[in-house]
A and B are shown apart, each in its own frame.
Chain A
Amino acid sequence: MASSAATLDRSTTRQQPNIGFGATLKSEWTKMISTRSTYIMLLIAVALAVGLTALIGLAVGSTYDDWNASDQASFEPISFSLAGMAFGSILLIVLGVNLVASEYSSGMIRTTLAVTPQRGRLLAAKVVLISVVTMVATLVITILSLAVGMAILGAYDMPTVSLSDSDVLRTIVLLTLTSPLFPLIGATFAFLFRSIATPITLVLAVFFAPSMFGALFPRWWQENVLSLLPSSAADSLSLGHVNDSDMYLDPAIAAVVVAAWLVIVIGAAYVTLTRRDA
């Protein structure tokens, strides 16, 4: 404590630093990597996605010989290898929501906003961080899933596609690029609702409902309404070249729809963050 007085003395010539987006992003990165839950969620995401693909591969492989000819003909190894992907995506959505919601549950948002009062910069840093983390995780998950999936299918003499095949590479790149959509929707919902449960429930409903219940709707609804939901728009971008669905859009239109959803939710988060009391 003896040295305290000296360290408190303020030099009058002290220069203030230039603080910009980089400082905020670096700080958000530090926040993310200094909590254990980040690593746990990322680990579970990878293990769940790859593990489920492997399990389903083993189950399907052992029964493949009993399939009838038309089922065997319509078997699609790429989308099959990504069967566990959705479960990994859920964990990435939870991670995205948690990176914002934990600020509110702990009350730390008030410290965060005191240190970075520029709301737009803080929001942008969260968006970039969540996007990058999700994309890296998705890249790892898709490559591992495809590698494991093809290895198991190959072991059962089922149809496989080489990992260097252009359709495989395209799938990896497109899935990676579209992966931040739902974690970002979840994160912006967390800004709006300031909790973890509501955003996760809402975003999972938006994420899963079309693929689970979409086929129950008349075709006109699938083509003109459900296709505009973020999940079908993102799927038409990432999987449109290997799958087909009435809910899929033309890629260019799908890209616009995805962008529009992001603008809406991020815009809503920005307005809320600026106007509402913290």
Chain B
Amino acid sequence: MIEVRGLSKHYGNVKAVDGLTFDVKPGIVTGFLGPNGAGKSTTMRMIIGLDNPTEGSVTIKGKSYRELPAPMYEVGALLDAKAVFGRRSAYQHLNWMAQAGGVPKSRIDEVLDIVGLTSVAGKSINGFSLGMYQRLGIAGALLGDPEILLFDEPVNGLDPEGILWIRNLMKRLASEGRTVFVSSHLMNEMEETADHLIVIGRGKLIADTSVSDFIQRSTKSHVRVVSPQAAELAPRLDNAGATITIADDGALIVSGIEAAQIGDIAASHSIRLHELSPQRARLEAAFMETTRDSVEYQAGTPEAVAAVFAEPTQAPTEQEVR
């Protein structure tokens, strides 16, 4: 259990983190969602005592991180996979970590096996791909077999296989009863992995809710209707209480009534339908709706906000890659 209370971090006049209060609970994957520059990494650094809060506190089972007698046994963190000294082998890197954390040497082989790096354990880290760096970072986080795991943008720059592996690992770690706290600016990634969401924008808490609630609450779902007799159908749907807008391709975007009801109305008036598709609100859409006012560097238009989150499966922006 991580308890964040009134946490703030100011850099001069900039409030990178602004009065955050939330808990991260065991047994589930908690997603930490926000656009680039929202304060996710700063918050995570404060959780493990790297940065000092301007105000407020973070405690891990009631203690501040710097007071933990055996921190590796409590918290494993992958904040920056590239933050390793390259002219060392993977094994040697894990070896100094294990020694510093009081972890028995036998555990190094175990974590290398878990992350699938056993065959390259003796190789210099310099030659590793980004995915291998991530795996090595995760191996380091798992060394102390900790109850709490923090991952900052773990899928950044990974190939689909790597992304799937990390997703499954996080779910498995949570199912073992651990606290898993994972940050991302990729909405669809959180939709796949997280059970609960902490959403922040411009350092402030926007939502602390389950994923399904977040989607339901934040946006209305709608039904897309294509009909050659749209002009006849629209007033009848309007009479039934629906709200209708017209999409660029001429389709009706209907909200307020269910797809089944629309089909029945059309049938009863012998109106032909070419498409009748309920559109489930995506987490992404919900997120954009909620953080519209809190995106840093906003150009002031909804299109600009949309651009920030366009094509979320593509390579991350430069800002987040270190």
B91-121 CB mask vs A (1 if < 8 Å, else 0) is 0100111011111000000100110100000
User: Is A30 positioned at the interface, with any CB of B under 8 Å from its CB?
Assistant: yes
> What 3 A-B pairs have minimum CB-CB distances, sorted nearest first?
A107-B83, A27-B100, A17-B102
Query: Which residues of chain A have C-beta atoms less than 8 A from B172's C-beta?
Result: 5, 8
Given contacts A10-B176, A107-B80, A110-B83, contact A277 B50 (CB under 8 A): yes
List the interface of chain B (C-beta within 8 A of A): 45, 48-52, 65-66, 68-73, 77, 79-80, 82-89, 92, 95-97, 99-103, 110, 113-114, 116, 140, 142, 145, 147, 172-173, 176-178, 322
Most buried by B among A36, A106, A111, A275: A111
- Stretch with Cβ within 8 A of B (4 or more), from A18-26, A171-179, A186-194: A18-26
Interface size on A, residues (CB 8 A): 43
Most buried by A among B49, B69, B99: B99
Most buried by A among B82, B92, B96, B173: B96
Please measure, in the bound complex, the distance between the C-alpha atom of A28 and the C-alpha atom of B85, giving whole angstroms.
13
Interface pair A117/B66, CB less than 8 Å apart: yes
For the residues of B in contact with A, the DSSP-based class is loop
Interface pair B65/A35, CB less than 8 Å apart: no
Query: Which residues of chain A have C-beta atoms less than 8 A from B72's C-beta?
Result: 115
Please measure, in the bound complex, the distance between the C-alpha atom of A109 and the C-alpha atom of B101, giving whole angstroms.
15
User: Is A113 positioned at the interface, with any CB of B under 8 Å from its CB?
Assistant: yes
A-B contact list, 12 entries, CB within 8 Å: A7-B113, A7-B114, A19-B70, A23-B100, A30-B95, A31-B88, A36-B87, A107-B83, A109-B83, A111-B97, A116-B100, A116-B101
18 new A-B pairs (CB below 8 Å) besides A4-B114, A106-B83? A7-B110, A8-B142, A16-B70, A19-B69, A19-B102, A30-B96, A35-B87, A102-B85, A108-B84, A110-B50, A110-B80, A113-B49, A114-B71, A115-B100, A116-B71, A117-B65, A117-B68, A119-B66
User: Is A198 positioned at the interface, with any CB of B under 8 Å from its CB?
Assistant: no
User: Is A278 positioned at the interface, with any CB of B under 8 Å from its CB?
Assistant: yes
User: Is A34 positioned at the interface, with any CB of B under 8 Å from its CB?
Assistant: yes
Query: Which residues of chain B have C-beta atoms less than 8 A from A24's C-beta?
Result: 100
